[in-house]
Structure 1
């Protein structure tokens, strides 16, 4: 199948594209490169041995989407494009609603116009807010606590309402927990463009000496060691979940929601300790004040995805740490060490 992947040059998107290609699909990437780098396309081609069509454009532009859907016989869409920083969403909620919600509406409208009716949407465990209990099933109350999470929930609500009027669509909402790690080749991985918002790239940058220490936000949560507990999932396992969600849509309409997580929770300090054990690198840290909106414990009940998608996270926390360190060690400055634009077309 020809799969349009929005945000396909990003951290998660690049791993999804590789799994799609290895499953026999053809991918067409659209990415505005606001949080990614052109070099990732070259790296993906090195890994897969395939030429990848990649278009630098924004999904909010209807005329651009028209060109893409007219030019390629798109069968399905995996939608990962969007802004993703909790802190930035608090500072600039307009940017988040414009990108995440308006962009999705424009994309879905164009899909319907060109009779493309299969959509996998990248949602987030942040839609659960402060969970009443863990593990969290898909039926748990939705009560997100920040603008980023609210935009994900708003898109979910829109898609739920949209499919009531378009019952011939097939939509999968994938609620990610905490993806970390990198491709085993060490060629692609998480490459934050400024100070990392996520824990693992901050740890790996401390390990390389780019940063002096790790800030641990709070040690007074009701957890095993006082630090926040999260469900860390290897990004490759997460990517494979997209392929299986896509496969589940064949001759099946309607909307389904799936948690993608391991079902296990680890604290910040447990992750740091595991990283140190696996890599032999010391990670100095300082305890600082909690961040607003942080919850104590959040981990998935992935049983629905296990049963309905035949998907299960296979990689261990040690694997996640080992692969994340391989990526960072091989690419201490991320993709910015190489700027090769030869494989990327541009649309305006």
Structure 2
């Protein structure tokens, strides 16, 4: 019994040892794998380091080392300094050129401003002179030309001259006809004025004319009582107005004989007028009758003038 237990115990121990051996064998294999991976990594790192060293030393293959890199860096820095100095000088030169160009531009701008100002002043002065000359031209045109053109003015002047000539001819014709018609009457009146004196005859003629005007006015007022204010001869007349101021126009028909005033109209229109001579004096007569009446009146005046000295002598004797 004891030997079996011992064998069983030994077998168990061997089994545990085998188990542990397997366990350590697996552990060793895993460690070996890890060592292999580490070796591979170290190889790669070494290769990278060799490449980096090669790249670092490629700057100067002749001399090699860090000194070559430093010298190259210093030379490059010197080149950079030179380039910076050249750039600074270029900047200075450019700024000077800009200043010169700015000064030139300012001078040109000032000159241009002066020229523009002068041109504006000249244009303003020219405009004022043009306005003055235009106003003077229009004034002269208005003074010489008026509201018509030159040809229209000449036509109007020619027409006016023709009218003046025609008017003068009509005036001369009327004057000659009046002189032929009223020549004997004028001579008789001249003889009467020369024999009696104008100063003595003027009051008589004025009184006679005033009487005739009053008689004719009273007859018109009797015939037209509704126009009592306007039937007076000479009412509302002005020297510069040939017609009445109230609009009354007198139209005369020279081809028609003036109306005769009958004795009935004379008696009914003027109760104070009873003389036949006054009625006859208003009736139009011919030139021969006027000459005859003028001669008769002259003879009567001469006879009265002859009889006046005898009357004066009688009055003196009576006194």
TM-score by length of 1: 0.16
Bigger relative contact order, structure 1 or 2, given CA contacts below 8 A and separation 6+?
1
Q: Which has the higher strand share?
A: 1
Q: Which has the higher helix share?
A: 2
Structure number with bigger Rg: 2
